[in-house]
Amino acid sequence: MTRAPGRFIAFEGGEGAGKSTQARLLAEALRARGLTVVVTREPGGTPGAEAIRALLLAPPGAPWPTQAEALLFAAARADHVAQLIRPALARGEWVICDRFVDSSRAYQGGAGGLGDDAISALHAFGSGGLRPDRVILLDGDEAALAGRLAARGQAADAIEGRPAAYHRAVAAAFRALAEADPQGFARIASAGAPEDVHARIIAALADLLA
């Protein structure tokens, strides 16, 4: 029997955009269709990558220089891709990831000023240039996202706690990436009830679910 091809979906967006919630809702919908689904996150997803995540979000000393931060993200991603993502796809499973390389392109490459070429080169070396079948970019206004963050009731990590200007630059970088690759990205308004956002996401994935 021929195994159905695995699919790789990445959720992207700024802090508080609702990526984790929408990843969970999508996984539930896919499993209801009889599909095998792996839900993971970046940085993280494997023991090695989770250890690097702890270093990134709570630096042991001064904040990481942007170059070191990009290298740490790339190292975590390389382990994640080799140990979890590629094997799951080879088994014909769907992989849903809360952030992937486009976060590095937007945060370190865009807002951090390293440029897209540097991030893409790290990804090509570390992870073989793997791309999702579709990137779901959850796009919302700054005030709404800030409200969601405040509602979490927890201290900001090293990246969430950066100035508003940094997060505006991240949002602009994400929009530019989506506009440059309309086939690879689905730009979804994150405003409204989670169920309504989920419905928009399912519609954006209709061709992959056919």
The residues spanned by each domain of the chain are: 7-209
pLDDT digits (tens, 9 = 90+) for 121-160: 999 999 999 999 999 999 987 655 555 555 545 568 889 8
pLDDT digits (tens, 9 = 90+) for 182-208: 999 999 999 999 999 999 999 999 999
Q: Is the pLDDT of residue 2 over 70?
A: no
Reduce the secondary structure of the chain to three states and give it as a string.
Answer: CCCCCCEEEEEEECCCCCHHHHHHHHHHHHHHCCCCEEEEECCCCCHHHHHHHHHHHCCCCCCCCHHHHHHHHHHHHHHHHHHHHHHHHHCCCEEEEECCHHHHHHHHHHHCCCCHHHHHHHHHHHHCCCCCCEEEEEECCHHHHHHHHHHCCCCCCCCCCCCHHHHHHHHHHHHHHHHHCCCCEEEEECCCCHHHHHHHHHHHCHHHHC
Q: What is the CATH number of domain 7-209?
A: 3.40.50.300
pLDDT digits (tens, 9 = 90+) for 59-78: 999 999 999 999 999 999 99
pTM attached to this predicted model: 0.92
